[in-house]
Amino acid sequence: MGERRKAGGGRVGRDERDVVARGARLAGAARNVVGDHGRAVEAVRAVLTPIHDAAVRRELDAIPVARLQDVTGGRLRLGGVEQSGLRTVGSVLDAGPYRLRQIPGVGQRTVDQVLAAARRLSEAAHETVAVHIDVDRPEPDTTALVTALHTLVEAGPDARRAVDRAGALAQRLDPLLADARPAAGRLRMLLAGREKKARALAAVTAIRALADEAERARLPELFAQASVDLLRGPASDLAAWADFELRSAEYYSLLAEISGRAPDAAAAEGFLPDEVAERVRTQHLDDTHRRVSLRGYQAFGARFALAQRKVILGDEMGLGKTIQAIAVLAHLAAEGQSHFMVVCPASVLVNWTREVEARSALRVLLLHGPDRHDAFADWKGRGGVAVTTFDALRGFPVPGGGEVGLFVVDEAHSVKNPKAKRSQAVAEWAERCARTLFMTGTPMENRVAEFRSLVGMLDGGVADALGEGDALAGSVAFRRAVAPVYLRRNQDDVLTELPSLQHTDEWEELSASDEEAYREAVRAGNFMAMRRAAYLRPEKSAKLERLREIVREAGENGQKTVVFSYFKDVLGVVREELADGTALLGPLTGAVPAARRQQIVDDFAAAPGPAVLLAQIQAAGVGLNMQAASVVVICEPQIKPTIEHQAVARAHRMGQVRPVRVHRLLATGGVDERLVRMLERKTRLFDAYARRSAVAEATPDAVDVSDTDLARRIVEEEQARLGMTDGNPVERAEA
């Protein structure tokens, strides 16, 4: 006790020394995690640089010398250069000035111009050429790249969060620790002048406050876990490749970030006017309750919704509008908001609840079915993210001002008709909520009347100012007119990497009609009928409704779709449902001769604009290339996972110029859920090994579970669940 004095006395005691030591440990942990992350990033760069250089070289070797004329406006005389055997830009750069000067008729001025033009093309190639990771032909260098990236992907958003906070904390602590150095020992304090002593004691106070704040935020644990994750030994090649196949978008996102080949800033910001874009850039985005990393354009989209308060997010399908919405919800929850409402079509209810649960720490409640009013009361009392349908929304009381932190409307084009009751209900909620986020992947630029109706629910002033001629004046003028409320980005603008593969499990709740057909199939012990029960009564099929939405949105965006099913009769039902207004090809089945199959695929690729190809999965899953399709729909889960992988590989392969999105239609609570759960029990590593094996590719039966045993088990379990234990024996799975 005698050692301690008041701060004004200029003496330092154990308490002050402990605070300085505590601050030094915290700063050391912060610097360590930043350093660990930096080394993981450098490991990626070390592998990436030679791969990228080789890709650039291949590009330059493929550019004919004649292209140098384009760069110089046709001023060059290249006849002598080409006649000397230098046919490509790459060979010109290799030749250099000495060899070029030896070419008859080529003077120093031409040499300088040729090399300057070649270097400009080389610089452009370095900026634009992206690295392709080919999962079908893994080379040692790409394997090393995937393995290095795997460390960062596995560390996940928590590691990135730790690095960001560690950097900010170290920046604040380092100068304070320098000022507090005299307080680290009694002798130092005695020898320090009055001004240094006062500064040291003030720094100790600030360090204590920072350390207490860090403890409350559990930053030491966050830093420690991040360092462990970043220092974990490299994964095996097979494990890294397996993870890449499952999460390729995350790998490519990191790759684009580390390589510095980010999308054009104006495109990523939806070509917003500078004044709007600047306001959005300065908007803080809290990630405390978020469990997913955002790409740059996604973070901008979330900030746009926060900064502008009532907006339409109109990104093209596949750019992650749901993730952006969840980022907004997580931010507002961190600010203290407790109640959120999401309204969407019934077909995506389950997807919304699963996405919120997987991508955030927020509580989610489904307000659907006969108990929806009880669920609404629970939400009113306890808060969380409520998810409901347009029809159900009409039955809930409209909130008071400030009660709902964010009102999200998915597939907002569904409420473009102001006379519809669902549109009126949404408009009333939007008016009462301080923040509203409409989401639609359907391009609205050329439908001014419909678009004005949506905008009017958010900002009457912008809607009134939006005239019919604005869309005709060009996209730039249109976007400027609607910039306060509308943000749209296209895939071509913001996805700089080579095509990624995005899998989405589309969980649907069976309609009453679907459920009745399913029970009949279970009662009969007919496994194959159970698998296709969701399509037996098309007029009220939940899966067909979602399939129509996917195909419609793909068509609106000019994309081609391939629809796979194991069952020919399901493809027949799909064909009838899509017959109006859609360019349909197929069905491509096992009964179609091989030559005719290829002709169908060629016709599909040649079709102008959007088209749909129907294909039996076991007939079209092997041997045919369908890279014209960038949207794949699988109507039901397959018994053999290899069949799905092979089918998807027909579209997601070299030559594909757009990211491929795979939608697997699944029904909750029955055979689909049991199939998915059983097949997921296999480990990732085994599944990857099976896919890598040439034998397994040729003979899926060698690596998958027995069809008959699996079918019998599922039928028996479903009969027991539905109280039909005296049901009929299962039919053969191959039926």
Burial 402-439 (b: 16+ CB within 10 A, else e): eebbbbbbbbbbbbbeeeeebbebbbebbebbebbbbb
Angle at 151 between CA 57 and CA 354, to 5 degrees: 110
Confidence of residue 447 (pLDDT cuts 50, 70, 90): low
Residue 10 has pLDDT above 60, yes or no: no
**Token reading at 618:** 């076991």
Peptide bond preceding 587 in cis form (omega within 30 of 0):
yes
Most confident of 181-195, 309-323, 367-381, 652-666: 367-381
* Average pLDDT value for the chain: 83
Residue 8 has pLDDT above 70, yes or no: no
Residue 167 has pLDDT above 70, yes or no: yes
* pLDDT tens sequence across 339-358: 999 999 886 788 799 889 98
**Token reading at 340:** 């959120």
Neighbours of 314 (CB within 10 A): 24
Residue 683 has pLDDT above 70, yes or no: no
Q: Dihedral sign for Cα 353, 354, 359, 361, please.
A: positive
Alpha-helix runs per DSSP H in 217-295: 219-231, 237-246, 248-259, 265-268, 274-281
What's the chain's Rg over C-alpha atoms? 30
Angle at 171 between CA 165 and CA 174, to 5 degrees: 125
φ/ψ of residue 584, rounded to 5: -110, 135
Which percentage of the chain shows pLDDT scores above 90? Answer: 45
Which residues are 501's β-sheet partners?
A: 660
**Beta strand segments in 552-669, E:** 561-565, 584-588, 612-616, 631-634, 660-667
Confidence of residue 73 (pLDDT cuts 50, 70, 90): low
| pLDDT at residue 582 in the model | 77
Which pairs count as long-range contacts for 14-19, CB under 8 Å and 24+ apart, including other chains? Answer: 16/183, 16/201, 16/204, 17/183, 17/184, 17/185, 19/180, 19/183, 19/204, 19/207, 19/208, 19/211
Residue 2 has pLDDT above 60, yes or no: no
Confidence of residue 469 (pLDDT cuts 50, 70, 90): low
**Token reading at 704:** 């998958």
Lowest mean pLDDT among 40-49, 100-109, 359-368, 384-393: 100-109
Which amino acid is residue 543, in one-letter code? K
Which percentage of the chain shows pLDDT scores above 70? Answer: 84
Confidence of residue 381 (pLDDT cuts 50, 70, 90): very high
Residue 445 has pLDDT above 80, yes or no: no
Which of 696, 700, 702, 684 shows the shortest CA–CA distance to 245?
A: 684
Helix axes 296-308, 274-281, angle to 10 degrees: 100
Angle at 300 between CA 431 and CA 321, to 5 degrees: 65
* pLDDT tens sequence across 232-285: 877 788 888 888 876 777 888 788 888 876 667 788 888 888 899 999 999 999
Residue 581 has pLDDT above 80, yes or no: no
Beta carbons of 60 and 122 less than 8 angstroms apart: yes
**Token reading at 28:** 């050391």
Which residues are 341's β-sheet partners?
A: 386, 407
8-state DSSP, 562: E
Confidence of residue 633 (pLDDT cuts 50, 70, 90): very high
| pLDDT at residue 147 in the model | 94
Which of 359, 21, 37 shows the shortest CA–CA distance to 225?
A: 37
Residue-range domains of the chain with CATH = 1-261 (no CATH), 262-494 (3.40.50.10810), 501-721 (3.40.50.300)
Which secondary-structure segment (H or E) carries 311? strand 310-313
